[in-house]
């Protein structure tokens, strides 16, 4: 496998790391554990495909590229779920603020 391929994969890794760090303060404990499981499985898969002896380099690169794309999708899913959860909480907070009636308002 050539250096250009690994440089592309490194670029994807850097994007994923940046996204994760940006959103990490908002992840729940369960989401953090879920991401660790995803990462563990990702690393095992990359090692497996890198060491697989019965495949051409092109087949390995295709499979490893798929693993990177899959990991990116999984990370995006956790982030999107997290963002949607916080958006719903913001909507609920706004609704609660709108429904609040100040008892001293008439005074």
The token pair at 33 is 């554990």
In a domain, 43, yes or no: yes
In a domain, 15, yes or no: no
Contact in structure between 60 and 49 (CB atoms under 8 Å):
yes
pLDDT of residue 85: 62
In a domain, 105, yes or no: no
At 1-60, the pLDDT tens digits run 789 999 999 999 999 999 999 988 888 899 999 999 999 999 999 999 999 889 999 999
> What is the rounded average pLDDT of the residues 96-104?
59
* Predicted confidence band of residue 97 (pLDDT cuts 50, 70, 90): low
Contact in structure between 78 and 20 (CB atoms under 8 Å):
no
Q: Contacts from 25-34 at CB under 8 Å and sequence distance 24+?
A: 26/82, 26/83, 26/86, 27/78, 27/82, 28/82, 31/78, 31/81, 31/82, 34/78
Domain count for the chain, please give it: 1
In a domain, 40, yes or no: yes
At 61-91, the pLDDT tens digits run 999 999 999 999 999 999 988 776 655 555 5
In a domain, 2, yes or no: yes
Determine the structural domain holding residue 43 and report its residue range: 1-8+29-90
The pTM of the full predicted model, rounded to 2 decimals, is 0.74
In terms of Cα–Cα distance, which of 60, 59, 38, 65 is closest to 49?
60
In a domain, 38, yes or no: yes
31: Cβ–Cβ under 8 A, 6 or more apart, which residues? 78, 81, 82
In a domain, 67, yes or no: yes
In a domain, 50, yes or no: yes
């Amino acid at each position: 496998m050539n250096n250009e391929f690994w440089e592309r994969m490194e670029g994807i890794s850097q994007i994923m790391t940046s996204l994760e760090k940006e959103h990490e303060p908002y992840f729940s404990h369960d989401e953090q554990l879920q991401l660790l499981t995803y990462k563990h499985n990702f690393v095992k898969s990359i090692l497996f495909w890198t060491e697989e002896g019965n495949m051409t380099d092109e087949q390995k690169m295709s499979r490893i590229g798929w693993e990177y794309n899959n990991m990116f999708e999984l990370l995006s899913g956790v982030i999107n779920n997290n963002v949607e959860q916080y958006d719903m909480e913001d909507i609920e907070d706004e609704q609660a603020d709108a429904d609040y009636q100040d008892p001293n308002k008439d005074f």
